[in-house]
């Protein structure tokens, strides 16, 4: 096997980013449609290669949640191809004038959106990210260098080969989309330090991956976080709403980062509604983890350790804790939350406002499922990840998050 030169790939991406940054919206949109068409036409090849990854996953006994993220079907391939078509409909942020003014001395100042340049994307077992990230990068005028997890290597290589085939028919260079086809950890770590070529790193995956990138990178990192998602059921919560929202947030897609992991319930509400709630847990095959108080009240519950309160289960396991009031719920979230998505169920507007104002997270909800923390669901059209940090971008990162601004200043000979 030929040794992969990551620095050379990053350099080629940087060179390709220059002409890409000034392409018209029309040219970028045409490119996305051509890529979508190629993916649809070659879905069978993608599925063949994906089966190789699934076979290795079965051999290594990956858990069900992991295998679900790895799995591709014809419907899923067409779904991410359709995602590219949806991107075409979105406004191009490049060139947007954010603010504009004229100084007393006659200088005209225009603050305008421009691409970041080269994006480094590091992610785990989600082959769809290869398409999503490429599409969002190209639409926002950026080149991208992708490093997917070894468990999806065959799937990703297949997808990249189809993207490159499509790019050959467009005005965008094939070099604008680089893929590090290596399972070598050194190749990944080399990517962390190529600041001269790469403008930003975006890690998307489990906590250990994100922590490693943040700790080792010399390139600015747009941190996408783990989702230890909480829901506080207040004493003034409507039973029907609470049951429906908990069900959706926990069971719609348990393996995603905006799925519910911990329920904090007011003791008065629990005492009144525990039979109905326990019956629902049983019907949905939810395994409850809790302290001694919960163990006594919920048949079949498992004793929670300190780890459970911080756990992103990504399964039908659920941590449950009883609290006295909203202040105790907020304190628990401060201790164990990951600043992703947090929710309150209550008919008390004042308590809801207190929760929404005091909880520190990228997305906070009142009487709604946390499953809406998603670029397409919130009207962004697409996302490259969900940022849980506070600088540059926070929450679902759509097209504008992959741009920065440039001051364009015009004068008539002014000197200072």
Give tens-digit pLDDT for 4-21: 899 999 999 999 999 999
For residue 1, the model assigns a pLDDT of: 40
- Give the Cα-Cα-Cα angle 87, 89, 91 (nearest 5 degrees): 90
Residue 188's nearest CA partner among 261, 92, 254, 124 is 124
For residue 2, the model assigns a pLDDT of: 44
* Other C-beta atoms lying within 10 Å of the C-beta of residue 193: 14
Is residue 281 pLDDT above 70, yes or no?
A: yes
- Answer yes or no: are the C-beta atoms of 263 and 318 closer than 8 Å: yes
Residue 219's nearest CA partner among 6, 20, 399, 386 is 6
108-115 vs 403-410, strand pairing mode: antiparallel
Of 38-52, 214-228, 255-269, the range with the lowest mean pLDDT is 214-228
Distant-in-sequence, close-in-space partners of 161: CB < 8 Å, separation ≥ 6: none
Is residue 375 pLDDT above 90, yes or no?
A: no
* Other C-beta atoms lying within 10 Å of the C-beta of residue 96: 14
Edge-to-edge strand ranges of the sheet holding 317-323 = 302-303, 287-290, 317-323, 260-266, 229-233, 341-345, 363-366
Q: For the chain, give percent helix, strand, coil, nearest 5.
A: 45, 20, 35
Distant-in-sequence, close-in-space partners of 114: CB < 8 Å, separation ≥ 6: 21, 94, 141, 403, 404, 405, 406
Is residue 328 pLDDT above 60, yes or no?
A: yes
List the beta strands (DSSP E) in 80-228: 97-102, 108-115, 118-123, 143-147, 177-179, 200-204
Dig out the tokens for 354 from the structure. 């207190």
Give the burial class of 52: count Cβ atoms within 10 A of its Cβ; 0-12 exposed, 13-18 middle, 19 or more buried: middle
Is residue 208 pLDDT above 90, yes or no?
A: no
For residue 385, the model assigns a pLDDT of: 87
pLDDT band at 49 (very low <50, low <70, confident <90, very high): very high
Residue 268's nearest CA partner among 328, 352, 356, 317 is 328
Mean pLDDT within 222-226: 83
Type and span of the H or E element at 156: helix 153-167
Is residue 381 pLDDT above 80, yes or no?
A: no
Dig out the tokens for 374 from the structure. 């998603």
Of 118-132, 236-250, 281-295, 360-374, the range with the lowest mean pLDDT is 118-132
What is d(CA 20, CA 35) in angstroms, rounded to the nearest whole number?
Answer: 16
pLDDT per residue as tens digits for the range 80-105? 999 999 999 999 999 999 999 999 99
Torsion, CA 389, CA 395, CA 398, CA 400, rounded to 10: -60
- Answer yes or no: are the C-beta atoms of 362 and 340 closer than 8 Å: yes
């Amino acid at each position: 096997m030929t040794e992969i030169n990551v620095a050379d790939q990053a350099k080629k991406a940087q060179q390709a980013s220059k002409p890409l940054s000034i392409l018209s919206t029309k040219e970028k949109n045409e490119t996305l449609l051509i890529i979508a068409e190629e993916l649809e036409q070659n879905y069978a090849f993608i599925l063949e290669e994906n089966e190789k990854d699934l076979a290795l996953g079965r051999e290594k006994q990956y858990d069900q949640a992991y295998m679900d993220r790895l799995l591709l079907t014809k419907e899923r391939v067409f779904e991410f191809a359709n995602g590219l078509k949806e991107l075409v409909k979105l406004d191009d942020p490049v060139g947007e004038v954010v603010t504009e003014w004229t100084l007393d001395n006659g200088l005209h100042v225009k603050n305008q959106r421009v691409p970041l340049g080269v994006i480094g994307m590091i992610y785990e077992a989600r082959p769809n990210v290869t398409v999503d990230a490429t599409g969002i990068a190209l639409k926002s005028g950026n080149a991208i260098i992708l490093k997917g997890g070894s468990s999806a290597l065959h799937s990703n290589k297949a997808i990249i080969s189809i993207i490159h085939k499509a790019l050959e028919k467009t005005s965008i260079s094939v070099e604008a989309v680089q893929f590090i086809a290596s399972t070598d950890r050194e190749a990944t770590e080399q990517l962390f330090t190529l600041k001269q070529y790469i403008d930003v790193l975006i890690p998307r995956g489990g906590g250990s991956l994100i922590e490693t990138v943040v700790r080792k990178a010399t390139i600015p990192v747009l941190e996408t976080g783990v989702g230890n998602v909480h829901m506080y059921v207040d004493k003034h919560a409507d039973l029907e709403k609470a049951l429906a929202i908990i069900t959706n947030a926990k069971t719609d897609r348990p393996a995603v980062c905006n799925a519910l992991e911990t329920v904090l319930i007011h003791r008065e509400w629990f005492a009144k509604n525990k039979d109905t709630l326990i019956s629902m847990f049983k019907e949905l095959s939810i395994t409850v983890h809790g302290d001694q108080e919960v163990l006594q009240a919920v048949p079949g519950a498992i004793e929670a350790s300190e780890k459970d309160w911080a756990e992103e289960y990504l399964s039908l396991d659920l941590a449950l804790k009883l609290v006295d009031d909203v202040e105790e719920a907020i304190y628990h979230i401060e201790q164990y939350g990951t600043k992703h998505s947090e929710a309150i169920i209550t008919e008390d507007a004042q308590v809801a406002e207190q929760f929404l104002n005091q909880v520190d997270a990228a997305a906070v909800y009142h009487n709604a499922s946390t499953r809406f923390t998603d670029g397409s669901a919130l009207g962004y059209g697409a996302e490259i990840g969900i940022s849980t940090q506070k600088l540059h971008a926070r929450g679902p990162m759509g097209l504008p998050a992959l741009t920065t601004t440039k001051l364009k200043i015009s004068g008539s000979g002014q000197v200072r």
